[in-house]
Structure 1
Amino acid sequence: MKERETWKNGLEFLFSCIGVSVGLGNIWRFPYICYRNGGGAFLVPYFLFLAMIGIPQLLLQFSYPQYSSSGPAKAWVCCPLFKGIGYAMILTNSVISLYYNVIIAWTLYYLVNCFTLNLPWSSCDNIWNTDNCYFRTSEWSSMTGNASSYDTSVSEEKILKTNETVSATDGKTATEEFWTYNVLQLTDGIETMGTLRWQLLLCNFSVCVIVFLCVFKGIKLSGKIMYVAATVPYLFLTILLVRGLALDGALMGLKYYFIPRWGELLRSAVWFDAASQVIFSLGFGTADHIILASHNKFHHNIYRDAMIVPVVDAFTSLFSGCVIFVTLGYMATTFQLDIDKVVTDGPGIAFMVFPEALSTLPFPQIWSTLFFLTLLVVGLDSRIVMIQVLTGSLSDLYPGLFRSRVSWTSAVVCLVTFLLGVPFVYQGGMYVLQLVDWYIASVALLLIVFLESSVLSWLYGSQRLSEDIAVMIGYPIPKFWQVFWRFITPCCILVVWVMSLVKHKPVTFGGEAYPVWSVGVGWIISLLPLMPLVGNIILTLLKQEGNVTQRLQQSIKPLPEWTRNLQSDQNSGPNGDILLSS
């Protein structure tokens, strides 16, 4: 049987971890959350939770898969009673990967449309535009005289001749209409799915093909690709930032982004958002880092990497925010708007607000291409690892069948995820995507992260975990990490989980509530990852003998398979230096 692959060197692992941590949320979620929750003041709870949750949990996630050289499907033999945690992670990852692929497909669709003589979202003269479409320009602002009125055409001549204006609440910008009526061709609700958007289907398939070409040779190929994929976005973002700083209003945008509003720290929601951003940005609960660490050589220094990855992730979020807000400041200045009117969250900033700003610059095709290339690359980084979680788990469960057939396994997984993602590219697919995204993290994901932290630190044992890490890296880690694992980190995660349940509201889209039946489907989706967890606990206890206490004691003992993986490292020292045999 073919041995499990390991990274050629530690940098491939590090760049892969950075690639999967730095995702779309860093660009379109963090800037808005930072601004909404006190600007620079938000950085206080954010970095606090980065130290209390991010680094300790990531170190924990690196440790047990590297020690066992097993992914989420096998590593939990360290505590058989909770082996279902690994399966729950895989299931959560699978659901997220279905619609994450579609989000990347949207990006690809925009990228293709950047290679046109006139950007299709920069005018109201297209077949999909309505009578209430408008395109904001500096001339528009000066001619209308304020930000609350606009003309229904981009034609300056028509503005001068007719001066036909209408309240801005009655219309949509050209970029909004391109997004709603061209990209999505959105229906009235989830009850009306409409027809298949073949352009998005083609983009979705293209993304699957690109991902397959990155993973079909296993980590030997994907590790090398990550060198480029994890670094190129910083180059693109830097170019966009330099260009943005030269625009009018750029400094105003940065002030809105960074000036602290200390009073906001008195709101519990700010602290909740900070903790949630750390947990979701680092990808806890989806096994991404677990599958990557499982391919490490036994003596790889995970302690060092666990310090680096969260810091790089935080830096990227801050840096991306600078790029976004210098552009939003430019929009506010050019269109004579309050910056509150152009700041938005999620896909809105990526597919409506930012493209609108870039379309007003000289050579808009260049800047739009750079922006959507950035989104495409950071999205592909995460998507590549999502596929590796599935292929790696299959290889761990059935090594004789899948480990020597990496290409075929990758092809089948990519094809299946593509087919299961078809509902998301219907005209009503956005409603389905919103429903799944809203509920998949509402209950299961945070609970999975809490159980992972608690089970490993209390049942497997924080002292034993520290000793395992010391054996791998060659020196003991400080004892205060055990305090974090046992008390601080799980308590913080538990509080976030409870608050998420308390604050939870039924899903809406555009302010409209979903029908009752779809909310019920949403709750089924939210509880779906917990089914293998509960089922495994029941089956494991039934297999044991004795009374309840004896069954529990037997069920939390590591199985014989829980052994150190020495593979190619059995003759090497903690730093990878070859030891001379006697």
Structure 2
Amino acid sequence: MKERETWKNGKEFLFSCIGVSVGLGNIWRFPYICYRNGGGAFLVPYFLFLAMVGIPQLLLQFSYPQYSSSGPAKAWVCCPLFKGIGYAMILTNSAVAIYYNVIIAWTLYYLVNCFTLHLPWSSCDNIWNTENCYSRTYGLASMTGNTSSYNTSIPEDQNLKTNVTLSSNDSKTATEEFWTYNVLQLTDGIETMGTLRWQLLLCNFSVCVIVFLCVFKGIKLSGKIMYVAATVPYLFLTILLVRGLTLDGALMGLRYYFIPRWAELLRPSVWFDAASQVMYSLGFGTADHIILASHNKFHHNMYRDAMIVPVVDAFTSLFSGCVIFVTLGYMSSTFQLDIDKVVTDGPGIAFMVFPEALSTLPFSQIWSTLFFLTLLMVGLDSRIVQVQVLTGSLGDLCPGLFRSRVSWTSAGVCLVAFVLGVPFVYQGGMYVLQLVDWYIASVAFLLIVLLESSVLAWLYGSHRLSEDIAVMIGYPIPKFWQVFWRFITPCCILVVWVMGLVKHKPVTFGGQAYPAWSVGVGWIISLVPLMPLIGNIILTLLKHEGNTMQRLQKSIKPLPEWTKNLRSDQNSEQNGDILL
């Protein structure tokens, strides 16, 4: 049986962790919520939760998989009763990975369209534009027959929104129409899925092929790729920032971004958004860091890395925000708009607002290419690790079958992700993506993180966990981390989870409510990751004999496999070997 791979050196692990932490959310979500929640004042709760939740939880997630040299499917031999936590993480990761692949496919579609003489989202002279297409530079498009030419290219029975004659109140910018009517070809709702968007299907397949080529040799190849994939985006962002600072309105954009509005800190939602951003950005609940740490050598200094990764993630968020807002400030100044009118969240800033701003610059193809290359690379970083979560977990569960066939396993995982992603690239696929994204994080996501923190701190024991870390890194860590693990971190996660449930509303898209049956499907999606957790608890208790208390005591006792790495280390030391 093939031995479990380890990183060639600690830098590969560190860069991989940075790559998976720094994702699309750093570029298109953090700047918006920072601006919306008090600008510079938002940094107070953000860094507070980074210290109280981000660093302690990441340290915990690095510790137990490195100690056991096991991924999420096997690392919970430390507390067999809650082995289902690992399976729940794998299911959550799988759900996110499917639609995350489609988001990267959108980025690839835009990137390909950058290599044209005129950026297709910069004008209203395209076949997909309607008579009410609006260019901020040239005004409303003249009625030159765009609508009729567009309608002849798409059958009426697809019930597309674009077939409806728009009133002047429904005018859209050229970038909005490119996104809605060309990229997505959006239908009226989830009930009308329309036809397959073969261009997006091809992009989705291309992303799967790229990811496969990065992982088919295991971590020995992906670790080296991460050196480039985790660092080059910073170069691109720096170039875009320097260019943005030369534009009119750049400093105004930075003022909007950073100027503190201290009164906002009195709103509970600001603190909720700060805690949520920390946890979602660092990827808790999806086992990304767990699978990476499981490939560490036993004596790797994961304590140092747990301090570095959250800080780099926070810096990247702030830096990306500067890039975004200097450009939005330029857009506000050029088009004489309040910056409130151009700031938006999520895909809007990446696929509509920012491309529109870049399209007005000289050599716009160059700047647009740099921007979408940045999005592509930070997306691929995360996607690579998502695949490794599944391949690594399969290798842990059936090492004889999967660990010796890494290439075939990786190909199978990528192929399944591609097939399951097909519904997302239909004309109504955006509604499906919004539904899954909305509900996958509503119940299970934070509950999984809460259970992980609580079980390890209370059932396995924070003191024992600290001793395990000391054995691995060679020196004891400060005792205050035990206070975080036992009290502060789980309490913060619990409050955020409860607030999320209280604030939860049925899914909508563009202000449009979903039908009742789709909301029911959404709740089923949200509860699916919890099924293996509940099932494992029942099966584990039934497996043991005795009364309820005796069964519980036996079920939380670590299995012999938990200390296999430690026993191997001790044997090596007795034989004169030194583990580095």
Instruction: Give the alignment of 1:331-346 within 5 angstroms.
Output: 331-346=331-346
- The structure 2 residue matched to 1:151, chosen from 122, 131, 140, is 140
In the superposition, relative to structure 1, how do residues 454 and 168 fare at CA in structure 2: closer, same or farther (>3 Å)? Answer: farther
**TM alignment of 1:227-376, pairs within 5 A:** 227-376=227-376
Q: How has the CA–CA distance of structure 1 residues 249 and 168 changed in structure 2, closer, same or farther, with 3 Å as cutoff?
A: farther
Residue matched to 1:503: 503
Q: Is the 8 A contact 1:39 1:260 kept in 2?
A: yes
> For each residue in 1:195-239, what CA deviation from the matched residue of structure 2 results, as whole angstroms up to 9, or x when unmatched?
000000000000000000000000000000000000000000000
SS at structure 2 position matched to 1:134: strand
Given that residues 450 and 493 in structure 1 are in contact (C-alpha distance below 8 angstroms), is that contact kept between their aligned partners in structure 2?
yes
Paired position in structure 2 for 1:520: 520
- Whether 1:105 and 2:105 are equivalent positions in the alignment is yes
Partner of 1:467: 467
CA 1:566 to 1:554, structure 2 compared with 1: closer, same or farther past 3 Å?
closer
SS of the equivalent of 1:190 reads coil
CA distance in 1, matches of 2:332, 2:118: 23
Match for 2:414: what amino acid?
C
Unaligned runs of 5+ in 1: 141-149, 156-165
**Is 1:75 the equivalent of 2:96?**
no
Q: Is the 8 A contact 1:135 1:153 kept in 2?
A: no
- 1:38-85 CA deviation, whole Å, 9 max, x = no partner? 000000000000000000000000000000000000000100000000
Q: Is the contact made by 1:134 and 1:154 (CA closer than 8 Å) also made in structure 2?
A: no
- Residue 382 of structure 1 aligns with an amino acid whose one-letter code is S
Shift of 1:345: 0.1
What is the rounded CA distance, in whole Å, between the counterparts of 2:268 and 2:522 in structure 1? 27
Residue type of the partner of 1:152? A
Moved over 2 A (4+): 150-155, 166-170, 566-573, 577-580
Deviation for aligned residue 1:568: 8.8
Once residues 17 and 388 of structure 2 are traced to their aligned partners in structure 1, the CA distance between those partners, rounded to angstroms, is: 12
Report the Cα distance in structure 2 between the residues aligned to 1:494 and 1:429, rounded to whole angstroms.
33
Deviations 1:459-489 (A, max 9, x none): 0000000000000000000000000000000
Counterpart CA distance in 1 for 2:282 and 2:227 is 19
- 1:43 paired residue number: 43
The aligned residue for residue 177 of structure 1 is 177
* Match of residue 197 from structure 1: 197
Does the 8 Å contact 1:297/1:569 carry over to 2?
Answer: no
Where does residue 143 of structure 1 map in the other structure? none
Distance in 2, matches of 1:579 and 1:341, equals 61
- Structure 2: give runs of 5+ residues left out of the alignment: 145-165
1: CA distance between counterparts of 2:17 and 2:483?
25
Instruction: Please show how residues 415-494 of structure 1 align to structure 2 within 5 Å.
Output: 415-494=415-494
**C-alpha distance in 2, partners of 1:257/1:436?**
31
Distance in 2, Cα, partners of 1:16 & 1:168: 49
Residue 535 (structure 1) aligns with: 535
Q: Distance in 1 between matches of 2:176 and 2:531?
A: 40
Q: Give, in whole Å, the separation in 2 of the partners of 1:168 and 1:268.
A: 39
Offset of residue 170 of structure 1: 2.4
Report percent identity of matched pairs: 90
What is residue 115 of structure 2 aligned with on the other side?
115
Residue 94 of structure 1 corresponds to: 94
Query: Tell me, what secondary structure is at the counterpart of 1:427?
Result: coil
User: 2:306, 2:559 → 1: CA distance?
Assistant: 27
Deviation at 1:24, TM superposition (A): 0.1
- 1:21 is displaced (CA, Å) by 0.1
1:484 partner SS = helix
Shift of 1:579: 3.8
Aligned equivalents of 1:486, 1:456: Cα separation in 2: 9
Q: What is the Cα deviation at residue 548 of structure 1?
A: 0.6
Q: Offset at 1:136?
A: 1.2
Find the aligned partners of 2:291 and 2:260 in 1 and give their Cα distance. Answer: 39
Note if contact 1:134-1:153 (Cα within 8 Å) is conserved in structure 2.
no
Q: Match for 1:340: what amino acid?
A: D
> How many Å separate the matches in 2 of 1:578 and 1:21?
35
CA distance in 1, matches of 2:553, 2:415: 42
C-alpha spacing 1:483/1:154, structure 2 compared with 1 (3 Å) = farther
Check whether the contact 1:571–1:579 (CA below 8 A) recurs between aligned residues: no
Contact kept? 2:131, 2:143, Cα under 8 Å:
no
Cα separation, partners in 2 of 1:466 and 1:112, compared to 1, 3 Å: same
**How large is the Cα RMSD of the aligned pairs?**
1.6
Structure 2 distance, partners of 1:282, 1:579, is 33
Equivalent pairs, count: 556
- Tell me the equivalent position of 2:206: 206
Q: What residue in structure 2 maps to residue 30 of structure 1?
A: 30
Separation of aligned partners in 2, 1:578 and 1:251: 58
CA distance in 1, matches of 2:457, 2:206: 43
Describe the superposition over 1:284-327 as per-residue Cα deviations: whole angstroms up to 9, x where unpaired: 00000000000000000010000000000000000000000000
Counterparts of 1:12 and 1:571, CA distance in 2: 27
Q: 2: CA distance between counterparts of 1:21 and 1:12?
A: 14
1:26: Cα distance to partner? 0.1
Do the aligned partners of residues 86 and 8 (structure 1) sit closer, same or farther apart at CA in structure 2, a change above 3 Å counting?
A: same
Q: Is the 8 A contact 1:124 1:154 kept in 2?
A: no
Question: Are 1:555 and 2:555 an aligned pair?
Answer: yes
Go from structure 1 to structure 2 and tell me whether the alpha carbon gap of 1:227 and 1:167 turns closer, same or farther (over 3 Å shift).
same
Per-residue deviation, 1:571: 7.9
Residues 1:388 and 2:377 aligned together: no
- State whether residues 30 and 321 of structure 2, in contact with CA within 8 Å, keep that contact through their aligned partners in structure 1: yes
SS in 1 for 2:126: coil
Q: Distance in 2 between matches of 1:452 and 1:274?
A: 21
Matched, 1:405 2:405: yes
Equivalent position amino acid for 1:273 in 2: D
**Residue deviations 1:118-161 (CA, integer Å, cap 9, x gap):** 00001100000000001112xx4xxxxxxxxx423499xxxxxx
**TM-score normalised over the length of structure 1:** 0.94
Q: CA deviation at 1:572?
A: 7.6
CA gap of 1:395–1:551, structure 2 versus 1, over 3 A, is same
Offset of 1:523 from its aligned partner?
Answer: 0.1
Secondary structure, in 3 states, of the residue corresponding to 2:101? Answer: helix
Relative to 1, partners in 2 of residues 1:339 and 1:546: Cα closer, same or farther, differing over 3 Å?
same
Q: Contact 2:124 / 2:135 at 8 angstroms: preserved in 1?
A: yes
Give secondary structure in 2 for the equivalent of 1:337.
coil
Deviations 1:389-432 (A, max 9, x none): 00000000000101110000000000011001100000000000
Separation in 2, partners of 1:264, 1:106: 35
Task: Check the 8 A contact 2:56/2:485 in 1, yes or no.
Answer: yes
Aligned-residue offset at 1:563: 1.4
CA distance in 2, matches of 1:278, 1:188: 35
Deviation, structure 1 residue 565: 1.8
Cα displacement (A) at 1:561: 1.3
**Per-residue CA shift, 1:525-550, capped at 9, x if unaligned?**
00000000000000001111111111
Match of 1:554, as an amino acid?
K
Cα deviation for residue 169 of structure 1 reads 3.7
How far is the alpha carbon of 1:560 from its aligned partner? 1.3
Q: Which residue of 2 aligns with 1:144?
A: none
